[in-house]
Amino acid sequence: MEHHHLKGYLELLLAVCACFFLYECWRRKDEDVPNWPIVGMLPSVLLNIHRAHDRMTEVVCKHGGTFMFNGPWFTHMDVLCTCDPANINYICNTSFSNFPKGPEYSKVFDIFGESIITSDSDSWRIQRKIAHSLMSSKKFRTFVNRTSQAKVKGLMHVLKHIANQDQGAHYSEEGADLLTSYIDYQHHDELPIAKSDKFLGDTTLNLVLAGRDTTSSALTWFFWLVSLNPEVESKILEELRANSPELSDWQQGELKDFDSEEPSQLVYLHAALHESLRLFPPAPFGYKSALQPEVLLTGDAVQPGTKILIPLYTMARMESIWGKDCLEFKPERWITERGKLKFEPYYKFMSFNSGPRLCLGKEVAFTQMKSVVAGLLFNFHFQMMAGHSVTPTLSIILLMEKG
């Protein structure tokens, strides 16, 4: 008899739960990211994880540029996503000290060790000072120029070998590397911390990770965009020819390499790289965490510990920021009527971050990217394989799936 009652209660409970679930579904039918009891918006995120960047773009654009993502109950996973340049300027510049990366960032990205990328406040300040003086030294610049040129030369031979299978490839390796530069720098004796082996290891790893994967991601997207836009390729080649006086000595069929200083003045090439970095930012998210309560310029309130995510891929696709043609690959966007490079504030073009934590390797990255692009586009023609689908991965670096 008792068993019969229990079965009845269970059936009733199940029916109530089913009604509640159906009611919640009906109540949320118009929400684009349903916010469920207990699990929050997580189910919707998981359902769209395969197209996370595009989904984020749809949601954030629909909500005018700022959207609160509610994570599961008690998990402290609520994140304020904002693409609003006024908010970003406030977070990254005006109120910089109230928005560090926070301790959770260094836990998640422990691969970076205790170094410039993950640290905040005084520790970050000292490391930035050291890295900045190293990277602005003449020795470092010479090192970057020499290695970039040598690497591009090696790469060109590899590509030529692949293109004409019968030719031998000669790939020259550079002896010196970043670590050598840092060890040399230790002798300058400016800051004692630079002498610790742990610091040396973490910082070298940081510069390699910060510089290598971002630059290779940028180049991958750049060559893909150029392969889809032959008129951009023609304009880059035209500019290269017009600005390389020693081309008269160059024989057709020979590999032409460019001195890494040579392409630095090329406005169109610079603009095309900016445009590619805008549409496909190699570091696709900015992370911050609030210390004190504040109300952002959009009226959104943040509490101590509120996490803030700046989705750069989405920013590039917002008409309110870049205009109706925001989805187009248009280097002209970066050129003034007088043919000079157009400056856009970093809180709008966030690919190198904005404010006191602006990327330290921006100039290095441009030197390297310009050498690679000039050398490769001048000597080779890039074409996409038919049927090759291109999608960005969801990771700390915006990689091309199967890229």
State the residues that interact with ligand HEM by CB under 6 A.
116-117, 128, 131, 207, 210-211, 214-215, 218, 277, 282-283, 286, 351-353, 357, 359-361, 364-365
Q: Which of 33, 41, 25, 29 is nearest to 62 (CA)?
A: 33
* Alpha-helical runs (H) found in 111-229: 121-135, 138-163, 178-186, 197-208, 214-228
Q: How far is the CB of 147 from ligand HEM (least distance, A)?
A: 11
Q: How far is the CB of 119 from ligand HEM (least distance, A)?
A: 8
Q: How far is the CB of 218 from ligand HEM (least distance, A)?
A: 4
Q: How far is the CB of 44 from ligand HEM (least distance, A)?
A: 26
Q: How far is the CB of 319 from ligand HEM (least distance, A)?
A: 23
Closer residue to ligand HEM, CB minimum distance, 130 or 335 = 130
Closer residue to ligand HEM, CB minimum distance, 117 or 232 = 117
Q: Which two tokens stand for residue 56?
A: 């984020």
Residue linked to tokens 């060109």: 156
Closer residue to ligand HEM, CB minimum distance, 306 or 351 = 351
For residue 166, which phi and psi values (nearest 5 degrees)?
A: -85, -5
State the Cα–Cα distance between residues 362 and 352, nearest whole angstrom: 7
Closer residue to ligand HEM, CB minimum distance, 33 or 226 = 226
Q: How far is the CB of 368 from ligand HEM (least distance, A)?
A: 7
Closer residue to ligand HEM, CB minimum distance, 85 or 286 = 286
Closer residue to ligand HEM, CB minimum distance, 40 or 284 = 284
Asked if 227 and 384 count as a contact pair (C-beta separation under 8 A), the reply is: yes
Asked if 51 and 58 count as a contact pair (C-beta separation under 8 A), the reply is: no
For the range 297-304, what are the long-range contacts, defined as Cβ-Cβ under 8 Å and sequence gap of 24 or more?
Answer: 297/84, 297/86, 297/87, 297/90, 298/64, 298/65, 298/66, 298/82, 298/84, 298/86, 298/87, 300/66, 300/68, 300/80, 300/82, 300/87, 302/80
State the Cα–Cα distance between residues 136 and 270, nearest whole angstrom: 21
DSSP string over 214-256: HHHHHHHHHHHHHHH-HHHHHHHHHHHHHT-GGGGGPPTTSPP
Give residue number: closest CB to ligand HEM. Answer: 361
Q: How far is the CB of 270 from ligand HEM (least distance, A)?
A: 13
Q: How far is the CB of 19 from ligand HEM (least distance, A)?
A: 46
Q: Which two tokens stand for residue 161?
A: 């070998």
Beta strand 79-82 with 307-311: parallel, antiparallel or unpaired? parallel
Q: How far is the CB of 265 from ligand HEM (least distance, A)?
A: 19
DSSP string over 60-94: HHHTTTEEEEP-STTTT--EEEE--HHHHHIIIII
Closer residue to ligand HEM, CB minimum distance, 282 or 375 = 282
Closer residue to ligand HEM, CB minimum distance, 44 or 354 = 354
Residues 6+ apart with CB under 8 A from 46: none
Closer residue to ligand HEM, CB minimum distance, 283 or 308 = 283
- DSSP-derived 3-state class of residue 4: helix
